[in-house]
Chain A
Amino acid sequence: MNAGKRGRQAGAAAAAVLRQALLVLATVLVLAPLAYIILGAGKTKLEYIRNPAGLPVHFTLANFAALLKDGMMLLWFRNSVVVTVLAVLLSLAISALAAYAFARIRFAGREKIFNLIISLMIMPPIVMLIPLFVLASRARLVNTYWSAVFIYNGLMLPFNIYLLRNFFVTVPEALVESARLDGCGHLAIFWRIMLPLAASALVTLTVVSVLWVWNELLIALIFLQKNELTTLMAGLVQFQGRFRVNQPMILAGVLASMVPMIAIYLAGQRFFVRGLTAGALKGE
């Protein structure tokens, strides 16, 4: 073996070690906050004050029991589930219909309308909120699920339509043609052919939509101001003031709010990756 080759091999080995070290460090930095949330949630109030950064002497589930007994947490949890499910279903139904038309029905102004809709993807929600709030107050819809559900639905539409239309365009014309010869109209083609084929795209969209609605704060703060109607995220923020001296309770609430999304993520990681990268990679 000549010196040059050996040198290169040593270099490659050093590079591999360096890469592993970098990744291990990053993993620790990413996971440490999660570890602290879990450990902190298992401490008593006094222990947390004395020892916020170390391991708990004995891990207690008392904070979680207190959260459950408190009742508000469960109510917020339920509100989040209701709002998320309704908003995601509504937005999927509406966007699937529209995406089908943009992909498969030729109508005047189709491209112009489509481009206009997808350009709304980057519109920051705060820009729309004041008129929406005034409108919802007049219609007496502030502090009802419906205002939040409808706004979430609308805000998700541009991305959903974009992603589903891109999928529908790829369905081979032959599949549609044979159904048409059998006498199927657009609605039947949409329902019997397109939707079943789009199952995986719909799961992808569901996953990223659920993630977004579940985690959203601003709209929940403004449109669901009543404590018994608000979502988990808007409710949790109040913990800051309420548990100023009992911080393990804050961490227990934080942990409880994260569990559903982490569970979905672990179950369907590839759908997350596909959904989150969809805008960037097909947009080229």
Chain B
Amino acid sequence: MTVSRGNNLKGYLFILPALLSIGVVFAYPLFQNLYFSLLDLAQAGRPFSGMRNYVLMAADPLFWTSLRNNALLILLVPVLVVVALVFAVVLFERVRGWRFYRGVMLIPYITSITAVGLFFTLFFQGRGILNTLLRSLGLESLVVDWLGSTRWALPAIMVVIVWREFGFGAMLFLARLATVPEELFEAARLDGAGWLRRLRNVVVPQLATVIEFYVFIMIVTMLSWVFNYIYVMTLGGPARSTFVTELYIYIMAFRMQKMGVASGVSIILLLITAALAFISLRFRSRLLAEYE
């Protein structure tokens, strides 16, 4: 087919509304952020301030705490992969009632993080459900104000994240397993391969690309899609111990009126995400090449 001028015009007309929306919602903000991050927005006339916002950011310990907490959340990714993989494999073996179980696994994922967070705040609070249960089991010594302790708040949030997110991974893996040719499992079974060996030699290699996709999506999630959990459960506390990068941007921009610094942090977050996407693409093309 040749590219004719008439086709060009028609094609552009069809995509014009999409390009306008994307231009306003994605393209403009990305460039504007870069520009904002180089200005002193607090002063009249918004003079150019060079790298000042970035220097301020780097000098703020809270920025580093936030980044560190995102890094700690990324440690959840292997946990999520293993939990999701176990459930996908168990469900795939057509255990009695597997449809019901599959339906149940996804319920946390379709529940809003806001609702989940509000519930778990009550669950973890000093006189909350968890502590009441611990007391009634005679485990008084384990009672802690979970979200009010700098030591336990982040781990408690991590539990909630795993609770809500694992079903998505399990569903992804299960959907991919359903497309694997039955002969592969049959052959392994005839070879006398045990459950664990089948998992290692058949399941994991067959799922390699989708696991890789999930790992990438989850790293990006832990880095830049956890605002909602933190905002509802701790708002970064206690003593700023659960701050994450998104919350830092939000507080800087909308509570502290430091838009320039917030723009700078946005740029940093964007660069990290883009770098991860680039690495993932390289990794993925290598994986695909191996299986070709």
Which residue numbers of A lie inside 8 Å of B, CB to CB? Answer: 15-16, 19-20, 22-23, 26-27, 29-31, 33-34, 36-37, 40, 49, 51-53, 93-95, 97-98, 100-102, 105-108, 110, 113, 117, 119-120, 122-124, 126-135, 150-151, 153-155, 157-158, 161, 186, 190, 211, 214-215, 217-218, 221-222, 233, 236-237, 239-240, 247, 250-251, 253-254, 257-258, 261-262, 265, 269, 272-273, 276-277, 279-281, 283-284
Contacts and interface: CB of A to CB of B under 8 A. Distances in A.
Given A97-B18, A237-B114, A124 B225 contact: yes
A122 B277 CA distance: 8
Interface in B237-273: 246, 249-250, 253-254, 259, 262-263, 266-267, 269-270, 273
A133 B253 contact: yes
Interface of B: 1-3, 7-8, 10-12, 14-15, 17-19, 21-22, 24-26, 28-30, 32-33, 36, 86-87, 90-91, 93, 95-97, 101, 103-116, 118-123, 127-129, 132-133, 136, 163, 167-168, 171-172, 175-176, 179, 195, 209-210, 213-214, 217, 220, 223-225, 227-228, 231-232, 246, 249-250, 253-254, 259, 262-263, 266-267, 269-270, 273, 277, 288
A247 B172 contact: no
A137 to B, nearest CB: 11
Contact of A33 (B18, B120, B210, B227): B120
B104 A31 contact: yes
B110 A261 contact: yes
Nearest to A261: B110
Given A124-B273, A126-B224, A108 B3 contact: yes
23 contacts: A36-B129, A52-B127, A53-B133, A95-B18, A107-B8, A123-B26, A124-B223, A126-B246, A127-B266, A127-B270, A154-B24, A154-B26, A157-B22, A211-B110, A214-B112, A217-B227, A239-B118, A247-B122, A269-B103, A276-B109, A277-B175, A279-B213, A281-B210
Contacts of A134: 32, 36, 259
Nearest to A214: B112
Contacts of A279: 213
B171 A52 contact: no
Contacts of A107: 3, 7-8, 10-12
Contact of A126 (B30, B172, B227): B227
A186 B10 contact: yes
Main SS at interface, chain B: helix
Contact of B115 (A30, A155, A254): A254
Given A52-B122, A215-B112, A126 B269 contact: yes
A29 B105 CA distance: 10
B269 to A, nearest CB: 6
B124 to A, nearest CB: 11
B204 to A, nearest CB: 16
